[in-house]
Structure 1
Amino acid sequence: MRRRKNYRDLTDVERDDFVQALYRLKSDGVVDQLADEHATFFNQGIHRSSHFLPWHRDFLRRFEDALRTSRPDVTIPYWNSTVDTSPSDPLWDNDFLGQFDAAWGLRRALGSDTLPTPQRLQNTLGRGTYDTFRRDVENLLHNPPHNWVSGVMASLASPGDPIFYLHHCWIDLLWAQRQLLNPGAPFVSSGPGFGLNDPMTSVGTTPADVLDHRLINLYDYPPGFQPDPPQVLRDTPAM
């Protein structure tokens, strides 16, 4: 089974392999194709719906599969934006994700928004239903880092910046943590066409197909992983 790590836990070889695999996908056109797909379908149910989390889980899997065509042991690392909050963090080192050649056309303005706090993270993990959890993850934990990085990350084509995948790997890990903490919690549809067995926009995969990240060979938790007990909050009315 693949194991996705915090980017800080990567070995030097793993860091280099990940970066080299990124460059290969850029030169092959895969990075731009996925960025175009995300931009095209941005407002067609992959955001602000119950399919937000499963669609991006499937998107990450497709990207990771593509990475592994050139570097078979590569997995997507994650960026915990409640911990690594400074432009001087190793995440932005020039030999990692801080500098890419001109072909990438990256624009960034690190620090353009406020990043989520550890308390907000714990509050969100404690939301009582999938629907309120999903809305809080998207609005309070997912959106701010996009705007904090700014530039390409704040655009519809945000997968054109490699940091997109580390950010969304963390978002997906939060959903996996939530599932571990609430194994019996049902998937709640946000409306017609967005149920557990409804095909997701652009891919045909259903949320049921990707519900268990371990069964679809995505990633497992690091050894000894235990999620912090969440602060359980009263759900707010659906908007």
Structure 2
Amino acid sequence: MTVANQLVVRKNVETADIASLSDAYAKMQALSATDNRSWLFWAGYHGFPQYRCWHHGRVGSDGFPYDLFLPWHRAYLQYFEHTARDQNEGALLNWWDWTRQTGIPASYSAPRGPDRKPNPLASGPMPAMPGSRARRTRRSPDVPANLPSPDDVTRVLGLSQFVDFSNQLQDLHDQVHGWVSGDMGVIATSAFDPIFWAHHCMIDRLWYLWQLRWGVTNIPPNYLHQTLAPWGMTVQDVLDIHHLGYEYAGAVASSPPPPAPRAKASPRSSSGPATAPRRRTKVKV
């Protein structure tokens, strides 16, 4: 993948070009599963039938476990967005800021769009699976107050070590999948729901905000050359989103300031290691 000449800007769902994205999604959803431009083809990478996320998001190319959740999904979003833009040049992923705790955005929940046609952001097609016929995705969302809060995000962005940050951010990620429920709550089917992409765009944005604070290359060195299958990219390839050709609207203004330099400790003083907040038990999606 080459460096783009001009950065595209991913926006909040409330200010994004929903019409172009809806058009692209409708065209992708109309294609057959065997077409590598189709909704079924790309959603199938994450769960059924390929389960690439399950196998490659947590295990490195050397067979040892790595926390590749964030870099693997960044590459996934990048290729998916390029496919959507092949259908409509103006189609850019947007992020769902669930910390506003207002529920699923109207553009992703209204059964019909402004043109009175079925809304391709409200649900997506799913293939026939063992014990289930082909159908549209379904949701069963919880009350908005149970979504992650701004304080939850602030706490996670304050973690300076990549693995600690990634683990805690994945907890919030899992909480949102469970909150939407229905097909979003199951690995096999979550990526067929259009809200999946807005949710993961939010997760990728939060990683970028963390990188602005703690450093773009702040990641264990042994991660850098791990391959993100099947994309043919490595972790190092996806660290800089500007190299990938995109930016998040308002990211610099939204990023917490870098921590102030610490004063040198007195030779007589000592302090124990910082302890990351205890992880909640969540079903990984």
TMscore range, shorter length? 0.7 to 0.9
Cα distance, 1:204 vs. partner? Answer: 2.4
Asked whether 1:57 is paired with 2:74, we answer: yes
RMSD: 3.0
C-alpha separation in 2, matches of 1:150 and 1:171: 18
Tell me the alpha carbon deviations over residues 57-86 of structure 1, each in whole angstroms, 9 at most, x when there is no partner.
Answer: 010011100110121122101001111432
C-alpha separation in 2, matches of 1:123 and 1:153: 25
When Rg is computed on C-alpha atoms for both structures, the one with the higher figure is 2
SS at match of 1:86: coil
Cα distance, 1:131 vs. partner? Answer: 0.6
Asked whether 1:77 is paired with 2:91, we answer: no
Q: How many percent identity over aligned positions?
A: 26
Asked whether 1:115 is paired with 2:147, we answer: yes
Asked whether 1:15 is paired with 2:28, we answer: no
Asked whether 1:37 is paired with 2:48, we answer: no
C-alpha separation in 2, matches of 1:223 and 1:37: 29
Q: Which runs of 5+ in 1 are unaligned?
A: none
C-alpha separation in 1, matches of 2:125 and 2:276: 46
C-alpha separation in 2, matches of 1:238 and 1:214: 33
Cα distance, 1:202 vs. partner? Answer: 2.3
2:10 is matched by which residue type in structure 1? R
Cα distance, 1:164 vs. partner? Answer: 0.5
Q: State whether residues 21 and 90 of structure 2, in contact with CA within 8 Å, keep that contact through their aligned partners in structure 1.
A: no
Q: How does 1:1-239 map to 2 (within 5 A)?
A: 1-10=7-16, 14-28=17-31, 29=33, 30-39=38-47, 40-47=51-58, 49-87=66-104, 89=106, 91-94=108-111, 95=113, 99-100=122-123, 105-111=136-142, 114-139=146-171, 141-156=172-187, 157-183=189-215, 186-188=218-220, 195-222=223-250, 225-229=253-257, 234-236=274-276
2:234 is matched by which residue type in structure 1? T
Moved over 4 A (4+): 87-91, 100-104, 229-233
Q: State whether residues 213 and 256 of structure 2, in contact with CA within 8 Å, keep that contact through their aligned partners in structure 1.
A: no
Tell me the alpha carbon deviations over residues 23-72 of structure 1, each in whole angstroms, 9 at most, x when there is no partner.
Answer: 11112242212222111123324158421101100100111001101211
Q: State whether residues 141 and 180 of structure 2, in contact with CA within 8 Å, keep that contact through their aligned partners in structure 1.
A: yes
Q: State whether residues 125 and 231 of structure 1, in contact with CA within 8 Å, keep that contact through their aligned partners in structure 2.
A: no
State which drifts further: 159-168 or 33-42.
33-42
Are the structure 2 counterparts of residues 231 and 182 from structure 1 closer, same or farther at C-alpha, using a change threshold of 3 Å?
closer
Residue number in structure 1 paired with 2:132: none
C-alpha separation in 1, matches of 2:124 and 2:152: 36
SS at match of 2:53: coil
Q: State whether residues 147 and 175 of structure 2, in contact with CA within 8 Å, keep that contact through their aligned partners in structure 1.
A: yes
Q: State whether residues 38 and 159 of structure 1, in contact with CA within 8 Å, keep that contact through their aligned partners in structure 2.
A: yes
Are the structure 2 counterparts of residues 82 and 49 from structure 1 closer, same or farther at C-alpha, using a change threshold of 3 Å?
farther
Q: State whether residues 184 and 190 of structure 2, in contact with CA within 8 Å, keep that contact through their aligned partners in structure 1.
A: yes
Cα distance, 1:185 vs. partner? Answer: 5.8
1:3 is matched by which residue type in structure 2? V
TM-score normalised to structure 2 length: 0.72
Are the structure 2 counterparts of residues 170 and 186 from structure 1 closer, same or farther at C-alpha, using a change threshold of 3 Å?
same
Q: Which has the higher strand share?
A: 2
TM-score normalised to structure 1 length: 0.84
State which drifts further: 167-176 or 41-50.
41-50
Greater relative CO, 1 or 2 (CA 8 Å, sep 6+): 1
The size of the alignment, in residue pairs, is 231
